[in-house]
């Protein structure tokens, strides 16, 4: 995700420059100039849905966290600034860094690709909520000489390959599902992410769900002790290594595979169907998904995982990415600004998802997000009405 981080940084800078260029209006916050021309001028300017500038909310925010949603958060920040004048600085430093910044209170909100652990939740004084914002998926990509067909993988085969129990491409566990393809008697080289990454988090979370062996021997985390293979940095590194190494298989973000026109395999989902990975089948992973109570966090994290979804049309290696917002914030202006931004992102902001390669949240998940955003308080009283 290195290139993307750079990209996000550039965007953030250009957003700042743009914001500074148009600043004269926001520096003189006279209520008349802020509300004129807005169609919803009669409604509460600080309420939801967000339609205009709210003079009582904080006019600048900082956020830090995951690199995966970096491009869309940057887009949101830009659009949201045009709508409300609020300046938000989002730093895509990685999920771990985001959690740290949020816990240390050096950022107003955090962002993470993986649900926080009990210890991380406990460390955040004042408590927090994890609000799902957009969805993404991870796909297996491979390079086998003279094989151009889309390969089908059973969960068992995929786990076996990365565990190292399946070592040849013509292993019956792979070949039986791909009878129309002639697979070579060739050693498999697995390629994984060398940098800690939410992509690895999702992929290993999936493998842990479908393979007891994987769960006990390796487990799920943003960086794990890989049983074999080579590590490369970022989606680009993994894709590059796979492209160059005959007989290799790796995993990359779906967006990356689509943007770079990489071929990728299909994985049998929990319903036993082979569904192609797409933005639609990614959204399907959370469709009909019974969201846990986002207000209760500890011990509930696994319920936020949507890998191996029961939905028959779902891509099985899908995930949410979360915004971390404080449960209670004494600074009401800040709370207002954070919540309104999160609200706008999970509603109007969803319209930018597909262009940027993200899957939008299904309505049931947006509902859960609404509930949790509404329950945030400032000094004991609810902020959003």
* 81, 84, 197, 305: residue in contact with another protein (rule CB under 8 A): 197
Instruction: Give the CA angle between residues 65, 70, 75 to the nearest 5°.
Output: 130
Q: Is 224 in the site for another protein (CB under 8 A)?
A: yes
Chain positions 74 to 93 lying near another protein, rule: CB under 8 A, are 93
Q: What's the min distance (Å) between Cβ of 245 and another protein? A: 6
Q: Is 3 in the site for another protein (CB under 8 A)?
A: no
Q: CA-CA distance, 231 to 220, in Å (whole number)? A: 17
* 35, 59, 233, 278: residue in contact with another protein (rule CB under 8 A): 233
Burial (CB count within 10 angstroms: exposed 0-12, middle 13-18, buried 19+), residue 32: exposed
* 245, 278, 375, 377: residue in contact with another protein (rule CB under 8 A): 245
Question: Whose Cβ is closer to another protein: residue 215's or residue 374's?
Answer: 215
Q: CA-CA distance, 379 to 385, in Å (whole number)? A: 15
Q: What's the min distance (Å) between Cβ of 93 and another protein? A: 7
3-state secondary structure of 42: coil
Q: Is 231 in the site for another protein (CB under 8 A)?
A: yes
Q: Is 194 in the site for another protein (CB under 8 A)?
A: yes
Q: CA-CA distance, 142 to 246, in Å (whole number)? A: 9
Element (H, E) at 213: helix 212-217
Q: Is 288 in the site for another protein (CB under 8 A)?
A: no
Chain positions 95 to 114 lying near another protein, rule: CB under 8 A, are 95-97, 99-100
Question: Whose Cβ is closer to another protein: residue 206's or residue 315's?
Answer: 206
Q: Which residue has the tokens 């339609």?
A: 51
Within 13 Å and on the Cβ side, how many CA atoms surround 305?
24
Q: What's the min distance (Å) between Cβ of 57 and another protein? A: 30
Q: Is 146 in the site for another protein (CB under 8 A)?
A: no
Stretch that binds another protein, among 16-24, 172-180, 186-194, 365-373 (CB under 8 A): 186-194
Nearest alpha carbon to residue 88 among 77, 101, 102, 98? 77
Alpha carbon dihedral 329, 331, 332, 337, in 10-degree steps, equals -90
Q: CA-CA distance, 364 to 375, in Å (whole number)? A: 17
The dihedral sign for the CA sequence 376, 46, 40, 87: negative
Question: Whose Cβ is closer to another protein: residue 225's or residue 363's?
Answer: 225
Q: Is 321 in the site for another protein (CB under 8 A)?
A: no
Nearest alpha carbon to residue 157 among 227, 210, 203, 232? 210
CB 359 within 8 A of CB 318: yes
**For 167-202, b where at least 16 C-beta lie within 10 A, e where not — what string?**
eebebebbeebbeebebeebebbbbbbbbbbbbbbb
Stretch that binds another protein, among 72-80, 187-195, 277-285, 375-383 (CB under 8 A): 187-195
Q: Is 141 in the site for another protein (CB under 8 A)?
A: no
Q: Is 252 in the site for another protein (CB under 8 A)?
A: no
Cβ neighbour number for residue 66 with a 10 Å cutoff: 31
Stretch that binds another protein, among 149-157, 212-220, 257-265, 337-345 (CB under 8 A): 212-220
Cβ neighbour number for residue 302 with a 10 Å cutoff: 12
Question: Whose Cβ is closer to another protein: residue 298's or residue 330's?
Answer: 298
Question: Whose Cβ is closer to another protein: residue 229's or residue 360's?
Answer: 229
Q: Which residue has the tokens 């989002």?
A: 90
Stretch that binds another protein, among 188-196, 284-292, 305-313, 315-323 (CB under 8 A): 188-196
Chain positions 113 to 132 lying near another protein, rule: CB under 8 A, are 119-120
Q: What's the min distance (Å) between Cβ of 12 and another protein? A: 17
Q: Is 65 in the site for another protein (CB under 8 A)?
A: no
Instruction: Give the CA angle between residues 277, 157, 178 to the nearest 5°.
Output: 70
CB 153 within 8 A of CB 268: yes
Question: Whose Cβ is closer to another protein: residue 194's or residue 364's?
Answer: 194
Question: Whose Cβ is closer to another protein: residue 217's or residue 303's?
Answer: 217
Q: Is 195 in the site for another protein (CB under 8 A)?
A: yes
Q: Is 301 in the site for another protein (CB under 8 A)?
A: no
Query: What are the residues binding another protein (CB under 8 A)?
Result: 93-97, 99-100, 119-120, 187, 189, 194-197, 218-226, 228-233, 237, 240-241, 244-245
């Amino acid at each position: 995700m290195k290139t993307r981080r750079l990209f996000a940084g550039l965007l953030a800078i250009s957003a700042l420059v743009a914001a500074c260029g148009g600043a004269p209006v926001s520096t003189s916050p006279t209520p008349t100039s802020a509300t004129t021309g807005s169609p919803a001028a009669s409604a509460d300017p600080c309420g939801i849905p967000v339609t205009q500038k709210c003079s009582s909310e904080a006019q600048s925010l900082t956020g830090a966290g995951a690199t995966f949603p970096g491009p869309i958060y940057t887009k949101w920040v830009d659009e949201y600034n045009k709508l409300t004048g609020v300046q938000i600085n989002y730093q895509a430093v990685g999920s771990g860094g985001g959690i740290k910044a949020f816990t240390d209170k050096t950022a107003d909100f955090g962002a993470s690709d993986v649900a926080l652990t009990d210890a991380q939740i406990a460390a955040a004084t004042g408590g927090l909520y994890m609000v799902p914002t957009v969805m993404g998926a991870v796909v297996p990509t491979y390079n086998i000489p003279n094989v151009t067909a889309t390969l089908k993988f059973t969960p068992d085969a995929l786990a076996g390959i990365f565990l190292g129990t399946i070592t040849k491409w013509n292993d019956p566990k792979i070949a039986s599902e791909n009878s129309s393809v002639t697979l070579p008697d060739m050693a498999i080289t697995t390629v994984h992410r060398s940098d800690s990454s939410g992509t690895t988090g999702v992929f290993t979370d999936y493998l842990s769900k479908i393979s007891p062996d994987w769960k006990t021997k390796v487990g799920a985390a943003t960086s794990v002790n890989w049983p074999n293979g080579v590590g490369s940095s970022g989606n680009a590194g993994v894709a590059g290594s796979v492209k160059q190494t005959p007989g290799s298989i790796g995993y990359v973000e779906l967006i990356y595979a689509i943007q770079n026109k990489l071929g990728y395999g299909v994985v049998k989902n929990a319903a036993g169907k082979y569904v192609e990975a797409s933005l639609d089948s990614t959204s399907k992973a959370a469709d009909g998904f019974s969201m846990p109570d986002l207000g209760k966090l500890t011990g509930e994290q696994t319920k936020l995982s949507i890998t191996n979804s029961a939905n028959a049309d779902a891509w099985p290696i899908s995930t949410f990415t979360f915004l971390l917002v404080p449960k209670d914030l004494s600074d009401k202006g800040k709370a207002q600004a954070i919540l309104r931004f999160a609200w706008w992102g999970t509603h109007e902001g969803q319209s930018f998802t597909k262009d940027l390669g993200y899957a939008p949240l299904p309505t049931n998940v947006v509902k859960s997000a609404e509930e949790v955003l509404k329950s945030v308080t400032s000094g004991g009283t609810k902020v959003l009405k």
